[in-house]
Amino acid sequence: MRIVLGVGGGIAAYKVASLLRLFTEAGHDVTVIPTEAATRFVGVATWEALSGHPVSNSVFDAVDTVNHVRLGHQAELIVVAPATADLLARAATGQADDLLTNTLLMAGDCPVLMAPAMHTEMWQHPATQANVESLRSRGVTVLEPASGRLTGADSGPGRLPEPEAIFTAAMALAGASAAPAGRPAGPGSQPRPNTEDAAAGPSAARPLAGLTVTVSAGGTREPLDPVRFLGNRSSGKQGAALAAAARDAGARVRLLAAHMEVPAPDGVELIQVETALELRKAALHAAADSDVVIMAAAVADFRPADVSDTKIKKRDDVADPVISLVRNPDILRELVEVRDAAARNQLIVGFAAETGDAGGDVLEYARAKLRRKACDLLVVNQVGRDKVFGEDTNSVVILSRAGAEPQEASGSKSDVAAAVIDRISAELARVVPPV
């Protein structure tokens, strides 16, 4: 795909070098157009070396090829990151004072994604918000900035979203805009498949024919040193059964496998990961072209703050070590955020392993988790040392964000997987009824 990557003049421009790498490594042809201010942060040579194309920010370069017309007409996707307050204002008011804003005006129907980054006050200023509103009303996808530490001592909303998140949103936008017309879209709209096969409506025997389903399975392992890790009891059996059931329902299946005690089923694309961070990266990539994402993996919520390069030795002359932990990102939540930011139609399914305790029962905790994670379906099971992990049977309740009655399923893990896949097919069929 031909991508124009516009770079605004903010400190976050340096992160966009990683975004450019993600695009080129995925095989896309990227032309970078930095603004004049952006070149004060990252030089033209960097963009030329990483993109393999000459880089300019002036309409008076390469005049013989009428650069802005050519770039605007040829682009299949335009991504602007960081979109500064100034750049948003210039784009919103249709100014054409440099190559990037000229190209944006020449882009016609090409999908445009902007990833803002600026100080919180600038982002929240009514002028910026009005510009964002105006761009969105014209069909431009403007991501919400991330929250956190900003350039100075300040923190709040205004950080550039991570390159992987922008990449995923961009791929989703390009995919979504290539989907057949006439179906609902946008955050809050119902999920729908985006392939020609699926457009014909799912058949009863192979209800997921033509769709891509990504399943994560197994338990992540968080290393402490080269020989030790923090792990969990997940066997990967339920995730493997889900991948097989999705394959049998006709889907193209990608299995993101953390540690599993069972082999991956035949006929699925296997991507192996170890840690939560590796799973996050693989999941965000895979989600870009998936119609359904099922997060069945048991993801470590914490990882050791320090990983030793060498084996940690016990010594009599120093105190016993203390392991400090840091939080891992919530991958499921992030997948939902990226999908909604990109207005992508995608069904996202989470799993909840709950024990219940004095503070609440399993379903109470699960309902709260569904609200927190905002996925479409949550498959809930009760766990304990002798329950579910490693067993061949399972008993679950499927909760739906749309508020449908909870549905119970039990039996072998294959039976449960078939019930979950049936439920997913039914959710998709609500929007694309069989012909």
Q: What is the DSSP letter of 44?
A: H
Nearer to ligand CTP, 199 or 374 (CB): 374
Nearer to ligand CTP, 109 or 357 (CB): 357
Nearer to ligand CTP, 282 or 352 (CB): 352
SS3 32: strand
Q: Is the dihedral of CA 420, 274, 25, 68 positive or negative?
A: positive
Instruction: Pick the binder of ligand CTP from 225, 330, 391, 415 (CB under 6 A).
Output: 330
Binding to ligand CTP by residue 353, rule CB under 6 A?
yes
Nearest distance in Å: CB 329, ligand CTP: 6
The answer to whether residue 194 is catalytic is no
Nearest distance in Å: CB 352, ligand CTP: 4
User: How many angstroms separate the CA atoms of 145 and 126, rounded?
Assistant: 16
Exactly one of 57, 67, 232, 345 is catalytic; name it.
Answer: 232
β-pairing, 393-400 vs 407-412, is: antiparallel
Binding to ligand CTP by residue 135, rule CB under 6 A?
no
Count of residues that interact with ligand CTP, criterion CB under 6 A: 13
Name residues contacting ligand CTP, limited to 300-319 (CB under 6 A).
301
Nearest distance in Å: CB 126, ligand CTP: 36
Binding to ligand CTP by residue 351, rule CB under 6 A?
yes
User: Which uninterrupted H or E stretch holds 369?
Assistant: helix 362-373
Nearest distance in Å: CB 388, ligand CTP: 12
Contact 149, 155 (CB under 8 A): yes
Nearer to ligand CTP, 64 or 357 (CB): 357
Binding to ligand CTP by residue 377, rule CB under 6 A?
no
Nearer to ligand CTP, 197 or 301 (CB): 301
From residue 180, alpha-carbon distances to 202, 228, 343 in Å are: 15, 50, 15
Binding to ligand CTP by residue 350, rule CB under 6 A?
yes
Instruction: Pick the binder of ligand CTP from 59, 132, 244, 332 (CB under 6 A).
Output: 332
User: Which uninterrupted H or E stretch holds 186?
Assistant: none
User: How many angstroms separate the CA atoms of 363 and 60, rounded?
Assistant: 64
CB atoms within 10 A of CB 2: 15
Nearest distance in Å: CB 227, ligand CTP: 24
The dihedral formed by the CA atoms of 289, 373, 411 and 404, expressed in degrees to the nearest 10: -100
Q: What is the DSSP letter of 157?
A: E
SS3 268: coil
Binding to ligand CTP by residue 352, rule CB under 6 A?
yes
Nearer to ligand CTP, 297 or 397 (CB): 297
Radius of gyration of the chain (CA): 23
Name residues contacting ligand CTP, limited to 281-300 (CB under 6 A).
295, 297, 299
Contact 409, 420 (CB under 8 A): yes
Nearest distance in Å: CB 330, ligand CTP: 5
Nearest distance in Å: CB 63, ligand CTP: 51
Instruction: Pick the binder of ligand CTP from 31, 328, 381, 425 (CB under 6 A).
Output: 328
SS3 259: strand
Nearer to ligand CTP, 202 or 350 (CB): 350
Q: Which stretch binds ligand CTP (CB under 6 A): 20-28, 34-42, 105-113, 344-352?
A: 344-352
CB proximity list for 195: less than 8 A, separation 6 or greater = 210, 211, 212, 291
Instruction: Pick the binder of ligand CTP from 276, 282, 342, 343 (CB under 6 A).
Output: 276
Nearer to ligand CTP, 75 or 375 (CB): 375
Binding to ligand CTP by residue 29, rule CB under 6 A?
no
Q: Which of 100, 99, 101, 107 is nearest to 63 (CA)?
A: 99
**CB neighbour burial string for 112-130, b if at least 16 within 10 angstroms, e if fewer:** bbbbbbbbbebbeeeebee
SS3 375: coil
Residues with a known catalytic role:
232
Binding site for ligand CTP (CB under 6 A): 276, 295, 297, 299, 301, 328, 330-332, 350-353
